[in-house]
Amino acid sequence: MNPTPPAALSEILVVVEVLATLAFALSGLLAAARQRLDAVGVCVVTGLAAFGGGTLRDVLLDRRPFFWVEHSAWLWVILGLSAAAMALMRVRHFAPTERAMQWPDALGLGLFTANGTQIALEQGLPAIVAVLMGLVTAVFGGVLRDIVCNEVPRAFSDHRPYAICAFFGGWTLVGAQALGAPGWLGLLLATVVAAGLRAAAVWADYELPRWEPGAAE
Amino acid sequence: MNPTPPAALSEILVVVEVLATLAFALSGLLAAARQRLDAVGVCVVTGLAAFGGGTLRDVLLDRRPFFWVEHSAWLWVILGLSAAAMALMRVRHFAPTERAMQWPDALGLGLFTANGTQIALEQGLPAIVAVLMGLVTAVFGGVLRDIVCNEVPRAFSDHRPYAICAFFGGWTLVGAQALGAPGWLGLLLATVVAAGLRAAAVWADYELPRWEPGAAE
Amino acid sequence: MNPTPPAALSEILVVVEVLATLAFALSGLLAAARQRLDAVGVCVVTGLAAFGGGTLRDVLLDRRPFFWVEHSAWLWVILGLSAAAMALMRVRHFAPTERAMQWPDALGLGLFTANGTQIALEQGLPAIVAVLMGLVTAVFGGVLRDIVCNEVPRAFSDHRPYAICAFFGGWTLVGAQALGAPGWLGLLLATVVAAGLRAAAVWADYELPRWEPGAAE
C-alpha cells in the first residue's frame, strides 16, 4: 500500500520540496512588498505561500510530521529571508511589479505539482487522485497568499491557465511512471511541463475561453 | 466505540453521499454558469461544491480514505458533467437564475445533513457533536462554492434559514434513532426535514428575525 | 516522544482552554452584535471564534478528540450564551463599540498562546514549531470570526501588533520551561506577556512600522 521509495528518490523529493518552498516564499515576499504590509504581514504571507500547499497536502494525505515540523530549520530560513528582504528594501528603492512575482510563482507551481503527485502515487492512490493532490499542493499556497493580501486568488480570477498547468504536469508524471521512466526523470518532466505551460501562458498573455452562454453557434 | 453498521445501512449511506454530491455538483455548475467562469473555474467550483463538505467532515472525524479517494471514479463523473454542461450551454442559450440553483442546493443540504450526522453517530460521538458534524458537512461545500465565486457565502449572508435547517434535520435523525426507527427511515426523515425546511424558506421568502438592539420592548 | 504531563498541569491546561474559549466567544458575540447578524449568525460567529483556533491546532497536531467533542457540554454553553446575549440585547439598548471587543480578544489571544504552545511542547516538537502552533491557535479563531463577519481579518489588516504578541508569548513559555519554572508559572507568564502586549498596543494605539520601500536612509 505504502511502499518506501528508493532512498535516492525520497531525497530528491525533499530537494524538490525545498526548491518549491523557496520559490513560493519569494512570490510571497514580492506580493507582500507590493501590498506594503508591515513586518508581521510579510512573514505571514511569505510563510503561508511557502508552506500552505504542502501542509494541506499532508492533512489530506494524513501524513505527519509536516515538512516544516520535520525540517523546522526552514522556519528560521523563511523568517531570515523576510527580514533580509525588508532590510534590503529599506536601503534601495524597489517596487516589484505584478509580473515579477509570476516567475517564482510558476516555478513553485511546477515543483509542487511534481512533488505532490509523486507523494500521492507512493501512497498507492489512483492516478486521478494523485494528480488532484499534486494540483492542490501546487495551487493552495498561492491561494492563501492572495487571500491574506486581500486579492481574489489569482488561480481562480485571472483567466490564464493555472490549475490546468498543474493538471497536465501531474498526468505527465503519471505517464512517465507508467512508461517505466526513472523517478527523477518523471519529476523533472512534470516540473518542466507544469511550470513551462504556466510561464508560456503568462508570457503570451493567453486566456482560457470563457463560458459565454449561447455565444457560439 | 466504532461499531460497524449493518452492511445495508452503510450501502444506503454511500447512495446518500452520491446523491448529495450530485445535487451540490449541479448547484456548483449553475453558480459557475451565472458567473461566466472559464473551463477550469467550472470544474473547480463544481468539484468544491460536490466534495468540499464531505472532505471537511472526514478531516474532522479523522476518517480515511476520503469519499473521492475510495470512489475515485466520481472525480471523472464531475469532470464529465462539467464538460457536458459547458458543451450544452454553447449550443443553447441558457442563463440560470439565482433561484434555479437553490433547489439542488436545498436537496444537497438535506442529504449531507443526514449522511454527516449518521456517520458521526456511528463513531459514538455525542448527539450535539453529531448534529454539528452533519451541519458542517451540509454547509461547507456551498460555502466553498460561494467563496470561489467571489460571493459572500449564502449560508451566512441571506437571512433565510440555512444552517438551522441542517440543525433541525440532524436532531430529527438523532430522535428517530433514539426511538428505535430503522436506519434508512432516520436518514429519510432527516433529509426531508432539512431539505424541506430550506425549500419552504426559499419558497416563502421567509427571513430570520435580525438582532435589532433595543428594537423590541 | 509524547510524555504525559503531570495530572495537575493537564488540568490547568483544560482550565486555560475553557477561559480562552469563553473570552473568544465573548469577542464573537460582540462582533456579531455590531454586524446585526441574525440568530444563526450569532451562534455561528460565536462558535467559530470560540472553537476555531483550538480545532485547527488539533488538526495540525493530529490530536483527537477535539476539545468540543470531549467536552461537548461546552457546545451547549455557547448556544446558551448566544441566546442569553440576544435576549438581553432585545430588552436593553446596547451598541458595542469596536473597541469593546478588543479586550476579550486580547485575553483570548494570551490564553490560547499559552495553551497551544504548551500542548505542542508536550508532543516533543521543536521550540520554533511549538511557538508557531501557539500562534496559530491564538490567531485562527479571530480570523474565522472576522471572515464570517465579512471584515478583513484584524490580525492581518490593523497595523497594530497581533500575531507578534503571540510570538513573544510563546517564546516566554519556552524560556520559562528551559529555566525550569513550574508548568503553571510558564503558562501564566506566557498569557500575561501575549495578552499584555496586545492590550498595551490597543491602549497606546501603537502601529507597526510599515514596509515603505526606500523611505528610510
> pLDDT tens digits for C127-170?
999 999 999 999 999 888 887 776 767 776 677 888 899 999 99
Record: contact B39-A152, CB cut-off 8 A: no
The answer on pLDDT for B148 being more than 80 is no
Q: Which of C29, C38, C81, C92 has the most B C-beta neighbours within 10 Å, making it the best mutation to test the interface with B?
A: C38
Record: contact A217-B91, CB cut-off 8 A: yes
> What's the pLDDT score for residue C214?
45
Considering only alpha carbons, which residue of chain B is nearest residue A56?
Answer: B59
Percent of chain A residues past pLDDT 70, beyond the cut: 88
* C-alpha to C-alpha distance for B171 and A9, rounded to whole angstroms: 51
DSSP at C210? B
Q: Which of B38, B67, B68, B86 has the most A C-beta neighbours within 10 Å, making it the best mutation to test the interface with A?
A: B38
Mean local confidence (pLDDT), B138-143: 90
A11-20, B89-98, B112-121, range with greatest mean pLDDT? B112-121
Do A170 and A134 contact (CB within 8 A), yes or no? yes
All residues of chain C having their beta carbon less than 8 Å from the beta carbon of residue A72 are 125-126, 128-129
Mean local confidence (pLDDT), B155-181: 89
> What's the pLDDT score for residue B182?
92
Q: What is the dihedral of CA C35, C40, C44, C47, to 10 degrees?
A: 110
Query: Closest to C72 (Cβ–Cβ): which among B129, B162, B207?
Result: B129
pLDDT digits (tens, 9 = 90+) for A95-147: 677 778 888 999 999 999 999 999 999 999 999 999 999 999 999 998 888 87
> What's the pLDDT score for residue A93?
66
Q: What is the DSSP string of A110-138?
A: HHHHHHHHHHHHHTT--HHHHHHHHHHHH
Record: contact C216-A90, CB cut-off 8 A: yes
Chains contacting A with at least 3 CB pairs below 8 Å? B, C
Considering only alpha carbons, which residue of chain B is nearest residue C89?
Answer: B213
* C-alpha to C-alpha distance for A162 and B39, rounded to whole angstroms: 11
Q: How confident is the model at residue B90 (pLDDT cuts 50, 70, 90)?
A: confident
B196 reaches A (C-beta below 8 A): no
Mean pLDDT taken over chain A: 86
Query: Closest to B156 (Cβ–Cβ): which among C39, C41, C93?
Result: C41
pLDDT digits (tens, 9 = 90+) for C167-212: 999 999 999 999 999 999 999 999 999 999 999 998 888 877 665 5
Record: contact A38-C132, CB cut-off 8 A: no
Do C163 and C110 contact (CB within 8 A), yes or no? no
Q: Which residues pair with B210 in a beta bridge?
A: C38
Residues in contact with A145: Cβ distance below 8 Å, sequence separation at least 6, in sequence order = A24, A27, A28, A31, A45, A48, A49, A52
Chains contacting B with at least 3 CB pairs below 8 Å? A, C
A111 reaches C (C-beta below 8 A): no
Record: contact A38-C214, CB cut-off 8 A: no
Q: Give the A:B interface size as CB pairs under 8 Å.
A: 69
> What's the pLDDT score for residue C89?
75
Query: Closest to A211 (Cβ–Cβ): which among B64, B89, B91?
Result: B89
All residues of chain C having their beta carbon less than 8 Å from the beta carbon of residue A40 are 161-164, 208
pLDDT digits (tens, 9 = 90+) for A159-184: 788 889 999 999 999 999 999 999 99
All residues of chain C having their beta carbon less than 8 Å from the beta carbon of residue B154 are none
Residues in contact with B78: Cβ distance below 8 Å, sequence separation at least 6, in sequence order = B25, B43, B46, B47, B50, B51
A50 reaches C (C-beta below 8 A): no
Closest-CA distance of chain A to residue C164, Å? 7
Q: Which of A36-40, A81-85, C54-58 is least confident?
A: A36-40
The answer on pLDDT for B213 being more than 60 is no
A68 reaches C (C-beta below 8 A): yes
Record: contact C214-A86, CB cut-off 8 A: no
pLDDT digits (tens, 9 = 90+) for A45-103: 899 999 999 999 999 999 999 999 999 999 999 999 998 988 887 777 666 777 788 88
Considering only alpha carbons, which residue of chain B is nearest residue C151?
Answer: B152
The answer on pLDDT for C2 being more than 60 is no
C1 reaches A (C-beta below 8 A): no
All residues of chain C having their beta carbon less than 8 Å from the beta carbon of residue B124 are none
> What's the pLDDT score for residue A23?
94
Q: How confident is the model at residue A215 (pLDDT cuts 50, 70, 90)?
A: very low
> What's the pLDDT score for residue C98?
73
Closest-CA distance of chain A to residue C119, Å? 15
Question: Which runs of consecutive H residues, i.e. helices, occur in A127-213?
Answer: 127-148, 154-157, 163-178, 183-204
Residues in contact with B183: Cβ distance below 8 Å, sequence separation at least 6, in sequence order = B5, B6, B8, B9, B12, B118, B177
B97 reaches A (C-beta below 8 A): no
Q: Give the B:C interface size as CB pairs under 8 Å.
A: 69
> What's the pLDDT score for residue C212?
56
B210 reaches C (C-beta below 8 A): yes
pLDDT digits (tens, 9 = 90+) for C92-133: 766 677 778 889 999 999 999 999 999 999 999 999 999 999
> What's the pLDDT score for residue B36?
77
Query: Closest to C69 (Cβ–Cβ): which among B125, B209, B210?
Result: B125
> What's the pLDDT score for residue C132?
94
pLDDT digits (tens, 9 = 90+) for C21-44: 999 999 999 888 888 777 888 888
Q: Which has more pLDDT, B48 or B87?
A: B48
Closest-CA distance of chain C to residue B129, Å? 6
Phi, then psi, of B14 in degrees rounded to 5: -65, -40
* C-alpha to C-alpha distance for B56 and B74, rounded to whole angstroms: 17
Query: Closest to B38 (Cβ–Cβ): which among A62, A132, A208?
Result: A208
B150 reaches A (C-beta below 8 A): yes
Chains contacting C with at least 3 CB pairs below 8 Å? A, B
The answer on pLDDT for B123 being more than 90 is yes
Dihedral of alpha carbons B56, B58, B62, B67, sign = negative
Closest-CA distance of chain A to residue C177, Å? 20
Record: contact A40-C163, CB cut-off 8 A: yes
> What's the pLDDT score for residue A143?
86
A180 reaches B (C-beta below 8 A): no
Closest-CA distance of chain C to residue A190, Å? 29
* C-alpha to C-alpha distance for A8 and A21, rounded to whole angstroms: 20
Record: contact B164-C40, CB cut-off 8 A: yes
Considering only alpha carbons, which residue of chain B is nearest residue A214?
Answer: B93
> What's the pLDDT score for residue A95?
66
> What's the pLDDT score for residue B212?
56
Query: Closest to C208 (Cβ–Cβ): which among A38, A91, A93?
Result: A38
The answer on pLDDT for A6 being more than 50 is yes
Percent of chain B residues past pLDDT 90, beyond the cut: 56
Mean pLDDT taken over chain B: 86
Mean local confidence (pLDDT), B58-64: 92
